[in-house]
Chain A
Amino acid sequence: MTIQHFDVAKVREDFPLLRQTVNGHPLVYLDNAATSQKPQVVIDSLVDYYTTKNSNVHRGVHTLSQLATDDYEGARAKVKDLLNAAHDKEIIFVRGTTEGINLVAQTFGRQNIGQGDEIIISALEHHSNIVPWQLLCQERGAALKVIPINDAGELLMDDYEQLLSPRTKLVSVLHVSNALGTINPAKQIVEMAHSRGVPVLLDGAQAAPHMLVDVQDLGCDFYVFSGHKLYAPTGIGILYGRADLLESMPPWQGGGEMIRSVTFQETLYNELPYKFEAGTPNIAGAIGLGVAIDYVSNIGLDRISAWEHELLEYGTECLSSIEGLRLIGTAENKAAILSFVMDKAHPHDIGTILDSQGIAVRTGHHCAQPLMDRFGIPATARASLSFYNTKEEVDILVKGIDRVLEVFS
């Protein structure tokens, strides 16, 4: 891998927000797992859309509507290529990961999961991959089963094997942990479930922006991610579903776009993917996502992964040498997330002191309270890195933590 040729200074020029100062210091943005910054080309695409093409999609015969539809559907094709899906119609535009999971829970879930059935999730899950299934379980009389983890934050695969049973109707686990950075063995998870005929949803919110994802190679039945973590606008996300499953599922929301014909007696539903896209979609957001995908693809997700891994190794080494600091999440296979606690300072205080030096990190439970409970901690401070971060910024983080130690000496 030729990561020495990764020109981080050059890519940083593409992100206007990174140029600002915060609290009198150059911004060091290390909260990329919460949301990523946007390259100028994505920002420009929104302005361009609203300036020159704004109109509704799939509706009018007029020119603007056709231009908007072309760009919107063009974005769908780009997502299909990004995920290496088999067909464009397997790509459903949703608001984000959360909406994608809720869509599956309320359509596939309601159709296939009943009294006494079981859904398997893991101890690593974000609340968005817990609560939709709890709601479904309450409604259907089903049960949620949880794959435990070891102290490094890795799934215990033998326990997973044990949990799979004839009652299991779905496995829904994250691909990469937002709180710890653990990269799950997604392909193995899918294979084990499929050998028992159980479909699998992968929550790719923290994976799609940082690594090559091939849904056909993974073999998963559903894959969800959010645009805003992939350098695209907020309010746009993707649900990938295998075409035969999507075909067999009932529609989710009713309204315009998702119908073929409506009478007061009966409605015929539209074909995929429109069956699941009721109402006017987030057209500008989808187009922005397409541009963001072009942007990361031009850099190369393999190169992005390699650079972020180098940052992770450097950051792990630096933070590990700080006395009284403990990294939470030390999986062998990890994305560039450094979650930590300190003996003398609460994560919230760490966050405030770092912010005073222009360093943005997330502090709290990271929408993963059961995971925090597993480690017996209320919260962590989390630095989550992106390809536009530098080793110098990791050094600034370390100096910032030194300041925390000074205050709490």
Chain B
Amino acid sequence: MSNLGELYQEILLEHNSKPRNYHELDDFNCSADGFNPLCGDKVTIYLKVEDGTVSDVGFQGSGCAISRASASMLTQSIKGRSVAQAQETFNAFHVMLTEPGADLDYDTLGDLETLSGVIEFPTRIKCAILAWHTLLAALNKTSDPVTTE
């Protein structure tokens, strides 16, 4: 499949080998666990939210390159942004991976566009989206683990 190169782009592989913000925060005030029962991917997102802004973010977990890179890029994209902007980023990311042919919000997505190739691999969409659902749960301060099922 020629799309393999589009899936495993350099940026994705680099985030996989050197994930950003890969640590628990000392002083987070909301967090959530995500789990993909299909493949066993696990992720925990830690957020420090102050005055409506995500002032710090970290993640930990185990998973494939796509889930790990997606989580790493997530932390970069929402750090310093408002909660509302983080929600918008979730929405833009969700549209990118679930609505083929949709107009994409490139301004909001930024580097996250690197993951657009995942839409061609239906079995891997859950890998890319796990951290994002976990983010949403953390923002809602949900304590129940979220799953991709």
Contacts and interface: CB of A to CB of B under 8 A. Distances in A.
A345 B65 contact: yes
A346 interface: yes
Interface in B6-54: 7-8, 13, 38-42
A349 B64 contact: yes
A195 interface: no
A376 to B, nearest CB: 11
A348 B66 CA distance: 9
B4 A364 contact: no
Given A345-B65, A408-B13, A352 B124 contact: yes
A24 B1 contact: yes
Main SS class of interface, A:
mixed
A23 B1 contact: yes
Given A349-B65, A408-B65, A379 B4 contact: no
Nearest to A403: B4
A408 B64 CA distance: 12
Contacts, number: 52
Given A23-B1, A24-B1, A364 B40 contact: yes
Interface string A229-258: 000000000000000000000000000000
A369 B42 CA distance: 14
A364 B36 CA distance: 11
B4 to A, nearest CB: 5
B63 A346 contact: yes
A272 B149 CA distance: 41
A114 interface: no
Nearest to A378: B40
Interface in A349-396: 349, 352-353, 355-356, 363-365, 369, 372, 378-379
Interface residues on A, range: 20 to 34
Contacts of A347: 39, 64
A379 B37 CA distance: 11
A407 interface: yes
Contacts of B124: 348, 352
Nearest to A358: B1
Given A346-B64, A352-B124, A378-B62, A407 B8 contact: yes
A363 B13 contact: no
Contact of B39 (A348, A355, A408): A348
Interface in A244-277: none
Contacts of B121: 352
B17 to A, nearest CB: 8
Contacts of A345: 65
B13 A379 contact: no
6 contacts: A346-B65, A347-B64, A348-B41, A355-B1, A369-B40, A378-B62
Interface of A: 23-24, 345-349, 352-353, 355-356, 363-365, 369, 372, 378-379, 407-408
Interface of B: 1, 3-4, 7-8, 13, 38-42, 62-66, 68, 121, 123-124, 127
Given A349-B8, A372-B40, 10 more contacts: A347-B64, A348-B63, A348-B124, A352-B121, A365-B39, A378-B40, A378-B42, A379-B39, A408-B13, A408-B65
